[in-house]
Each structure stands twice: as structure tokens, then as C-alpha cells.
């Protein structure tokens, strides 16, 4: 699990894992119950965290009848990470004339120093925040065009139609670009219509294990660019974690090439400085094991 990878080079750009995280936040989210602890014990020979210390983790919220984990967001590829998974969140993000709310600089709205979107994890890292911002800007571009072409439409119709367009774009990128890049010939084929016999729910195996391969291709650094496209500096991803609202307005950025998908978690991220941020950073590597043991047989 630990290390900097074993495969030479990478076939992916840094945006591959960023897009994967964006759609992951569209598809699934497991909330902690905050009560039943399954803390991760740090090995005595660990060189980063104190011997005998723990990484705090509690059990997931589960359905009391089945014991299966409850998905806290919509399990569809429906852009809920931008629009929300409940009516209250959706309404709070809506602006006038079918548009979505933005802050200064046409960025995501903010609250308590963090960017706000349909998913609570929008400020997790700058790459994710940039894509969340792109989705909102695309919605507003579509809404403005629809309002101009159909001035008789209600605000709800403008917003709903713009959302349908944006959702279709996200689905097209995912199925036409993202999945073929990752899966090659095993990518899903052409769409032949709705099949009611298929269970569309996100499985625990997918959310808790399979799709977490993306953690192994994370790049450890984010590069900064000036107005001419020249690289002006870089920042460790660990240092940027949940700090996107501080500087995303003033810098052009992109990730370095992704790491090779080899089942190892980047040491720069796994071994972040001690403290609350470090616990958040290391959880992607440590959480699947304890969480996996919660699953019913």
C-alpha cells in the first residue's frame, strides 16, 4: 500500500484522477456514524506517525435492516456533486434566471472560508475545485444562452434544461473518454436503451474498493502557471488539501502527470505532517480495510 509506485512512467495526465474524483463524488458518499470507533492503530515502527498513535475512524452509517452502508448522495451520474442530492441543497445553490450562484471572479460560492457546491467535498483539493467550478460555469453559460433563445421560459425550465445539458456532457466525457482510457476494450459499449432489469445502485465493493484505485495514481504536486502559460512554481498536494479556497482564484494550475496504477499510495500524500489534515490525507489508504470488514457476508 505504501510507497511511490513500482511501474515506470504513467499513461495518464493528472486530470484523469481529478475527473475520477469528480464523478466519484457524484456517485457515492458514505457518512460516518461518529460513535462506533474502528480507529486504525499506527505500527510501532512507523517513521511518520507516533508509535502507538491512532487514526480516528468510526463505522459507516448503515441500514439497520440489512447492515449495508447507506449512500448519502444520488447513485446516478447526474451531476449531483454540482447541484446537490436533496431539494434543500439544490435550492440553496440556485440563483435568478436559472443560473447557479457564484462568488467574485465567477468562482464557486463560499461559506466559512470554503467553496460550496452540491457535494461537501468540493474544497478537498485544487484540481477537484477547478472541475467543480468548470461545471458551474458551464451551467451558467448554457442558462444564459437558453434564456436568450427562449425569453418566455420560466427560471425552473431554464435551470432544468441547462442541468440536463451539463449532465449529458459529463456522461459523454465519462463514457467516451474516461472509461475507454482506463479500461480499453473492456469499456462499456454503445448504449442501447434503459434496461429495467439492471440494478443501478452503487455497490459497496465498487465504492469502498474498486474505484479507489484512483488513490494510487494521484500526483504528489500541483504546478502553477502564469498568464503566458509558463510554469511559475509548484505546490505539494498534501499542502493544498482542503485549502483550495485560499488561492484558487489567483493561480492557473494543473496536476503533474498521474502516477502509474499499481496499488501503491504516494508517500508524499500518505506521510503528510501530523495533525488533523494528515489524518484526512492518510484515510484514503487506510480506510478501505476496516470499512471492508463492516460489509455483510
Q: Is residue 82 part of a domain?
A: yes
The string of pLDDT tens digits covering residues 132-158 is 999 999 999 999 999 999 999 999 999
The string of pLDDT tens digits covering residues 228-285 is 777 777 777 777 666 654 444 434 445 455 555 555 545 555 555 444 444 444 545 5
Q: Is residue 274 part of a domain?
A: yes
Q: Is residue 59 part of a domain?
A: no
pLDDT of residue 292: 58
- CA 282 – CA 172 distance, rounded (Å): 32
Residue with more model confidence, 256 or 164: 164
The string of pLDDT tens digits covering residues 21-38 is 999 999 999 998 999 998
pLDDT greater than 80 at residue 227:
no
Q: How confident is the model at residue 288 (pLDDT cuts 50, 70, 90)?
A: low
Q: Is residue 182 part of a domain?
A: yes
Q: Is residue 86 part of a domain?
A: yes
Whether the CB-CB separation of 189 and 229 falls below 8 Å is answered with no
**What is the value of pTM for the model shown?**
0.81
Q: Is residue 40 part of a domain?
A: no
Whether the CB-CB separation of 188 and 175 falls below 8 Å is answered with yes
List, by residue number, the catalytic residues. Answer: 25
Q: Is residue 57 part of a domain?
A: no
pLDDT greater than 50 at residue 42:
yes
The string of pLDDT tens digits covering residues 93-114 is 999 999 999 999 999 999 988 8
CA dihedral of 5, 233, 272, 18, whole degrees rounded to 10: -60
Q: Which domain holds residue 223?
A: 14-30+68-292
Q: Is residue 60 part of a domain?
A: no
Residue whose C-alpha is closest to residue 58's, from 41, 40, 35: 35
Residues 128, 202, 285, CA angle at the centre, nearest 5°? 55
For the beta carbon of residue 70, count every other beta carbon within 10 angstroms. Answer: 13
In the chain, DSSP assigns E strands to 32-37, 40-41, 54-55, 58-60, 110-111, 114-115, 221-225, 231-236, 252-255
Specify the CATH number for the domain of residue 26. Answer: 1.10.640.10
Task: Give the total number of structural domains in the chain.
Answer: 1
Amino acid at each position: 500500500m505504501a510507497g511511490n509506485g513500482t511501474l515506470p512512467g504513467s499513461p495518464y495526465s493528472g486530470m484523469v484522477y481529478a475527473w475520477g474524483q469528480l464523478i466519484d463524488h457524484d456517485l457515492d458518499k458514505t457518512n460516518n456514524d461518529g460513535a462506533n470507533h474502528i480507529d486504525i492503530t499506527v505500527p510501532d515502527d512507523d517513521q511518520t506517525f507516533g508509535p502507538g498513535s491512532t487514526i480516528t475512524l468510526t463505522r459507516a452509517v448503515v441500514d439497520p435492516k440489512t447492515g449495508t452502508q447507506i449512500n448519502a448522495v444520488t447513485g446516478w451520474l447526474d451531476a449531483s456533486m454540482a447541484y446537490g442530492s436533496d431539494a434543500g441543497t439544490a435550492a440553496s445553490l440556485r440563483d435568478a434566471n436559472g443560473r447557479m450562484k457564484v462568488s467574485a471572479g465567477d468562482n464557486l460560492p463560499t461559506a466559512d472560508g470554503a467553496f460550496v457546491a452540491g457535494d461537501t467535498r468540493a474544497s478537498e483539493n485544487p484540481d477537484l475545485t477547478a472541475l467543480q467550478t468548470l461545471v458551474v460555469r458551464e451551467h451558467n453559460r448554457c442558462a444564459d444562452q437558453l434564456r436568450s433563445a427562449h425569453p418566455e421560459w420560466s427560471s425552473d425550465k431554464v435551470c432544468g434544461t441547462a442541468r440536463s445539458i451539463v449532465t449529458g456532457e459529463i456522461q459523454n466525457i465519462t463514457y467516451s473518454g474516461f472509461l475507454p482510457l482506463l479500461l480499453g476494450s473492456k469499456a462499456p459499449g454503445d448504449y442501447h436503451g434503459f434496461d429495467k432489469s439492471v440494478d443501478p445502485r452503487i455497490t459497496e465493493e465498487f465504492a469502498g474498493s474498486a474505484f479507489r484505485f484512483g488513490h494510487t495514481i494521484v500526483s504528489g504536486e500541483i504546478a502553477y502557471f502564469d498568464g503566458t502559460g509558463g510554469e511559475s512554481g509548484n505546490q505539494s498536494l498534501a499542502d493544498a488539501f482542503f485549502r483550495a479556497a485560499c488561492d484558487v482564484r489567483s493561480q492557473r494550475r494543473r496536476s503533474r502527470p498521474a502516477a502509474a496504477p499499481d496499488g501503491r499510495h504516494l508517500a508524499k500524500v500518505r506521510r503528510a505532517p501530523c495533525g488533523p489534515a494528515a489524518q484526512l490525507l492518510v484515510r484514503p489508504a487506510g480506510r478501505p480495510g476496516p470499512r471492508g470488514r463492516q460489509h455483510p457476508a
